């Protein structure tokens, strides 16, 4: 046994530890004959006493001493030694035989905790009374070492009913946190849920239950599991999110099955031209919407896979819808669809273009999808903020827009600068020259 110097001093100086051994041949004993004599003289006081519990029997090296006779039956021992033939077999009323402690390990809670921090082997079994257990826990918490706190909690979990354990931890926040983390780490879902139920932490209860879905791979099973999550005590907003999660997966399963069928049948053009790269299962809503706008754009509201249906079911805001639809149609280079997204008819029957997301955003997406310059130009023109418009037009080389805007701004310098960037002898160069030489414009610079 390895002990630090400090521990040893304490051990020997503590009155709790009295040592004797029947083995007189032990050399180390000879050094402490005095104590041995003192101890042996106490033997008579020791029998059947309530103080028995405090008396520990160890050898000098601290190892438990193998007993040849039981301490409580000194009567029989002295009988045996005195060679009395009479032996008593009648049952004696006394302490349970198992209760005589014949091994060392009587560290105090603070010593025990110190040993635990060092990673030493330490049996906690002797902390049997609730008071002792709680004292041990308190020592562990004041030591601050989470590993020790968890070690004590492992012991408490094993030796206390969960009701008692929960009740005591309810008012001990640090220990409670450690228990919760420990249960999470070892995956004791059941006890964790019981704990949250006991603590009336309804939201955490719901979230812990919900978290399980991440471990279910099969889509049908996951869907069924999500259904069970719907009635859980989430907050009002979260309940709606859970409901949406379930509904989304439900739809995705239907769409996936249907589309896989269509794809393999090979009759549908869109799937032939753009084969699917991945399944739609477990994708976020926006991704699902993109997919729907890509593969099922023209479908009526009635089908599960139509974009409009998704929009309605999940209350997707207009902004998000337009953005996603634009991205999908632009990818397919379906410029007419893009047009239609932004065209509205006013009450006089005139068409007008508007966008809930800002036309600069539209232009960027179109450019990303290599839209032809004419299309790009049209939308750049619609950008409201003049500086942004000019920047984008210059960046994407929409000559007409640049020229027209510079003219409107009466900014000659800007136009001249742009002229140096265009191709020599091109139509745009001509146009610039024409504008520059126009006498009708009162340039500001």
Partner 1 sequence: MRYIANLVNADKMAGRTRKYKVIFSPQKFYACEMVLEEEGIYGDVSCDEWAFSLLPLDVDLLSMELPEFFRDYFLEGDQCWINTVAQALHLLSTLYGPFPNCYGIGRCAKMSHELWRKLEEEEDGETKGRRPEIGHVFLLDRDVDFVTALCSQVVYEGLVDDTFRVKCGSVDFGPEVTSSDKSLKVLLNAEDKVFNEIRNEHFSNVFGFLSQKARNLQAQYDRRRGMDIKQMKNFVSQELKGLKQEHRLLSLHIGACESIMKKKTKQDFQELIKTEHALLEGFSIRESTNYIEEHIDRQVSPIESLRLMCLLSITENGLIPKDYRSLKTQYLQSYGPEHLLTFSNLRRAGLLTEQAPGDTLTAMESKVSKLVTDKAAGKITDAFSSLAKRSNFRAISKKLNLIPRVDGEYDLKVPRDMAYVFSGAYVPLSCRIIEQVLERQSWQGLDEVVRLLNCSELAFTDMTKEDKASSESLRLILVVFLGGCTFSEISALRFLGREKGYRFIFLTTAVTNSVRLMEAMSEVKA
Query: In what helix (H) or strand (E) does residue 143 lie, and over which residues does it extend?
Result: helix 130-143
User: Applying CB under 8 A, which part among 23-31, 75-83, 95-103, 183-191 lies near partner 1?
Assistant: 183-191
Q: Tell me the C-alpha to C-alpha distance, in Å, between residue 404 and each of 99, 135, 186, 408, 415.
A: 101, 84, 69, 6, 10
How would you write 106-126 as a 3-class SS string?
CCCHHHHHHHHHCCCCCCCCC
Which residue, 318, 257, 254, 251, is CA-closest to 285? Answer: 251
Q: How far is Cα 167 from Cα 179, in angstroms, rounded to an integer?
A: 13
> What tokens were used for 253?
């399963």
283 scored as a contact of partner 1 (CB under 8 A): yes
- Measured from the CB atom, is 229 or 393 closer to partner 1? 229
What's the closest the beta carbon of residue 155 comes to partner 1, in angstroms? Answer: 9
> What tokens were used for 82?
């005195």
∠ CA 389-393-398, rounded to 5°: 140
- Residue bearing tokens 């879902």: 189
Q: For partner 1, which residue of 102, 111, 244, 404 counts as binding (CB under 8 A)?
A: 244
- Measured from the CB atom, is 238 or 404 closer to partner 1? 238
What's the closest the beta carbon of residue 241 comes to partner 1, in angstroms? Answer: 5
β-strands 56-57, 17-18: how paired? parallel
286 scored as a contact of partner 1 (CB under 8 A): yes
List the interface residues with partner 1, window 157-176 (CB under 8 A): 170-174
- Measured from the CB atom, is 67 or 184 closer to partner 1? 184
- Measured from the CB atom, is 4 or 413 closer to partner 1? 4
184 scored as a contact of partner 1 (CB under 8 A): yes
Task: Count interface residues toward partner 1 (CB under 8 A).
Answer: 58
Q: Is 217 helix (H, G, I), strand (E, B) or coil?
A: coil
Q: For partner 1, which residue of 59, 320, 381, 414 counts as binding (CB under 8 A)?
A: 320
- Measured from the CB atom, is 83 or 200 closer to partner 1? 200
241 scored as a contact of partner 1 (CB under 8 A): yes
What's the closest the beta carbon of residue 284 comes to partner 1, in angstroms? Answer: 4
308 scored as a contact of partner 1 (CB under 8 A): no
DSSP characters over 338-357 = HHHHHEEE-TTS-EEE--TT
- Measured from the CB atom, is 160 or 357 closer to partner 1? 357
Q: For partner 1, which residue of 19, 151, 392, 403 counts as binding (CB under 8 A)?
A: 151
253 scored as a contact of partner 1 (CB under 8 A): no
What's the closest the beta carbon of residue 44 comes to partner 1, in angstroms? Answer: 40
119 scored as a contact of partner 1 (CB under 8 A): yes
Which residue, 9, 5, 123, 133, is CA-closest to 64? Answer: 123
- Measured from the CB atom, is 227 or 431 closer to partner 1? 227
> What tokens were used for 376?
């790009």
What's the closest the beta carbon of residue 197 comes to partner 1, in angstroms? Answer: 15
Query: In what helix (H) or strand (E) does residue 155 lie, and over which residues does it extend?
Result: helix 146-159
List the interface residues with partner 1, window 342-361 (CB under 8 A): 357, 361
395 scored as a contact of partner 1 (CB under 8 A): no
316 scored as a contact of partner 1 (CB under 8 A): yes
294-307: buried (b, 16+ CB within 10 Å) or exposed (e) per residue? Answer: bbbbeeeeeebbbb
What's the closest the beta carbon of residue 18 comes to partner 1, in angstroms? Answer: 26
Q: For partner 1, which residue of 19, 55, 65, 149 counts as binding (CB under 8 A)?
A: 149
- Measured from the CB atom, is 229 or 422 closer to partner 1? 229
Which residue, 432, 390, 422, is CA-closest to 409? Answer: 390
Longest Cα–Cα distance in the chain: 143
Q: How far is Cα 323 from Cα 356, in angstroms, rounded to an integer?
A: 9
Q: Tell me the C-alpha to C-alpha distance, in Å, between residue 18 and each of 46, 54, 103, 131, 298.
A: 12, 10, 13, 25, 92
Residues at the interface with partner 1 (CB under 8 A): 4, 6, 114, 116-117, 119, 143-151, 154, 170-174, 177-178, 180-182, 184-187, 200, 203, 207, 210-211, 213-214, 237-238, 241-242, 244-245, 248, 282-287, 314, 316-317, 319-320, 323, 357, 361
């Amino acid at each position: 046994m390895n002990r630090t110097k400090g521990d040893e001093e304490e051990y020997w100086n503590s009155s709790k530890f009295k040592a004797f051994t029947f083995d007189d041949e032990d050399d180390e004993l000879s050094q402490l004959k005095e104590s041995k004599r003192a101890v042996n003289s106490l033997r008579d006081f020791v029998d059947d006493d309530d103080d028995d519990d405090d008396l520990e029997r160890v050898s000098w090296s601290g190892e438990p001493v193998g007993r040849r006779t039981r301490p409580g039956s000194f009567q029989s021992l002295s009988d045996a030694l005195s060679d009395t033939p009479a032996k008593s077999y009648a049952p004696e009323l006394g302490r349970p035989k198992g209760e005589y402690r014949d091994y060392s390990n009587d560290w105090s809670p603070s010593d025990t905790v110190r040993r635990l921090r060092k990673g030493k082997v330490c049996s906690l079994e002797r902390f049997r009374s609730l008071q002792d257990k709680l004292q041990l826990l308190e020592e562990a918490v004041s030591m601050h070492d989470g590993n020790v706190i968890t070690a004590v909690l492992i012991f408490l979990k094993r030796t206390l009913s969960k009701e008692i354990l929960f009740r005591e931890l309810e008012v001990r926040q640090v220990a409670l946190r450690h228990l919760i983390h420990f249960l999470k780490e070892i995956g004791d879902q059941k006890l964790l849920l019981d704990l949250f139920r006991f603590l009336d932490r309804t939201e955490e209860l719901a979230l812990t239950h919900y978290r399980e879905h991440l471990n279910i791979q099969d889509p049908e099973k996951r869907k069924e599991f999500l259904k069970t999550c719907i009635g859980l005590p989430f907050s009002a907003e979260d309940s709606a999110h859970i409901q949406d999660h379930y509904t989304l997966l439900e739809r995705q399963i239907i769409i996936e099955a249907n589309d896989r069928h269509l794809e393999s049948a090979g009759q549908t053009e869109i799937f032939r031209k753009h084969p699917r790269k991945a399944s739609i299962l477990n994708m976020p809503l926006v991704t699902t919407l993109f997919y729907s706008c890509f593969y099922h754009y023209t479908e009526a509201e009635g089908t599960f896979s139509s974009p409009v249906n998704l929009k309605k079911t999940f209350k997707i805001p207009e902004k998000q819808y337009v953005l996603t639809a634009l991205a999908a149609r632009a990818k397919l280079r379906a410029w007419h669809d893009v047009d239609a997204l932004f065209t509205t008819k006013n009450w006089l029957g005139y068409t007008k273009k508007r966008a809930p997301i800002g036309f600069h955003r539209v232009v960027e997406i179109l450019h990303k999808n290599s839209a032809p310059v004419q299309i790009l130009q049209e939308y750049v023109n619609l950008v409201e903020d003049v500086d942004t418009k000019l920047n984008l037009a210059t960046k994407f080389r929409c000559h007409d827009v640049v020229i027209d805007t510079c003219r409107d701004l009466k900014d000659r310098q800007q136009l001249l600068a742009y002229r140096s960037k265009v191709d020599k002898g091109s139509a745009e160069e001509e146009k610039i020259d024409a504008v520059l030489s126009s006498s009708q414009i009162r340039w500001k610079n």
